[in-house]
Amino acid sequence: MRTPFVVGNWKMNLDLAGAEELARGIVAKTGAILTVTQAVCPPFPYLRAVHDQLVDSKIQLGAQNVCFESKGAFTGEVSPAMALDCGCSWTIIGHSERRLILGETDALVNKKVKAALAAGLKVILCIGETLQQRQAHQTEQVIDAQLQGSLDGVEVDPLKLVLAYEPVWAIGTGVVATPAQAEAVHMHIRRWIITRYSAGVADQLRIQYGGSVNPGNATSLMVQPNVDGLLVGGASLKADDFAAIVAAAQAARA
């Protein structure tokens, strides 16, 4: 059975004191849980401080992004090695906010995935369609293209790569995909992995859902057979809400 994976993406929120307080709160509520893999992804300036709060817990640390280069004249960028040096085990790559607001292409995402894996970071690769694409019945076509472009030349190791389906129309909008909608896309993604890699890889690979996840909808999403975890945005900024989502994931797969 695939171990559920719940990740809190704190995005560009909090200050140093708030990040430390949130980390302590999450550790107190979920830090000893072994049956759900957990990670939090603070803003870059707070990585080390949050790491120090997580050190005695089972909660892992992740970066929200990394550069595709290991070092050099890339002002404002953070290399995979730097993220590792701050205590990160994971990095999010290809989040829709970076694709749509900052113009990241599948080709750039692909370079980042390769660089992160080569450095020893594990990757949460985000994919998802816009509302216009869904309304035009292009969801599967868009997902296929993003997977093909982002994973071109990547050897998928289910221990080092997680896919996160985040429909753009559900991120930060309060609108969440229905459990049936999420399951349908997750099933399609798993079938794509079978055709490009193998049934064994597809069976082990975890696929998260992200997009307005909260304690009220976490259970209905996690009971879907192909939904293996949740990538949580706003609700991860409250320790009680994050803990409730982790508890829902734990109960759904008990």
Annotated active-site residue in 95, 97, 129, 186? 95
Report phi then psi at 55, rounded to 5: -60, -30
Distance (Å, rounded) from C-alpha 100 to C-alpha 189?
21
Whether residue 95 lies in the annotated active site: yes
Annotated active-site residue in 97, 104, 129, 166? 166
Whether residue 166 lies in the annotated active site: yes
Continuous H helices in the chain: 16-30, 47-54, 80-85, 96-100, 106-119, 131-135, 139-150, 179-196, 199-204, 218-222, 239-252
Residue 167 in contact with residue 209, Cβ under 8 Å?
Answer: no
- 103-to-41, 81, 95, 107 alpha-carbon distances in Å: 21, 24, 11, 11
Two structure tokens written together for 36: 């759900």
Q: Which residues pair with 210 in a beta bridge?
A: 231
Distance (Å, rounded) from C-alpha 63 to C-alpha 97?
15
Distance (Å, rounded) from C-alpha 177 to C-alpha 121?
29
Catalytically active residues are 95, 166
